[in-house]
Structure 1
């Protein structure tokens, strides 16, 4: 479930960030914001690809690591939201970080 939610959210923000970054953040239509959005989308595509590949291959230990790494990325995103005093940019990633970390721990425990 955590993998599916992460895949859906990552896919939405990756595509949205490339196609219409102005819809996600104010000033996102500027050239620099579009380039930055493309670089950030690359991060999401790599994590999403690893998540889907590990799931398809049933590589559970590797999947637990990918989930943990994605949780760490989301936690850093939440910190950025807190520093910028943006509740939505802090709460959303913090929730994903908790769910992903919990999924990684549970997957690690059940596959030992």
Structure 2
């Protein structure tokens, strides 16, 4: 396993926040994935027909892979990779919010926006490296000797 220098590992609080966001995403998205497979008609009218059931199965397959990847990256503590996956999930939530807004569905707009905010915040925090202690950094400009 490749280890990072201590100045590349996010702080404990950032890792906890990102882990919590990842786990909440897995639980809620997992719930909706399972619900759409068990009862597609519960989500949309006519969902009990063959086409919506097949579509729900395709969407569930993608969700399972992405959510599984999120759990795996969290388990192996691949923080930067997890940050990327959280950012991608945040982008998906933004698109979901736009779809909710277009259809004038307030819960389907607000919920994804809240998740997008949490996901993108966690992704951003994971992408910021901790500042190394004890090093002097040049702030700007030319150095004259």
TM-score (normalizing by structure 1): 0.91
Residue 92 (structure 1) aligned to one of 81, 102, 111? 111
Larger Rg belongs to? 2
Residue 58 (structure 2) aligned to one of 17, 22, 39? 39
Any unmatched runs of 5+ in structure 2?
1-19, 132-145
Deviation sequence 1:37-73 (CA, Å, 0-9, x none) = 1111122112101101111111111000000001011
Structure with more contact order per residue of length (Cα contacts < 8 Å, sep ≥ 6): 2
Deviation sequence 1:61-100 (CA, Å, 0-9, x none) = 1000000001011111111111111112211111111110
Question: Which has the larger helix fraction?
Answer: 1
Large movers: runs of 4+ above 4 Å: none
Any unmatched runs of 5+ in structure 1?
none
**1:61 equivalent in alignment to 2:74:** no
Tell me by how many angstroms 1:111 deviates: 5.7
Deviation sequence 1:7-66 (CA, Å, 0-9, x none) = 101110111111111222333222211111111112211210110111111111100000
Question: What secondary structure, in the 3-state scheme, does the structure 1 residue paired with 2:55 have?
Answer: helix
Distance 1:5 1:110 in 2: 24
Say what the alpha-carbon RMSD is for the aligned residues.
1.5
**1:14 equivalent in alignment to 2:33:** yes
TM-score (normalizing by structure 2): 0.72
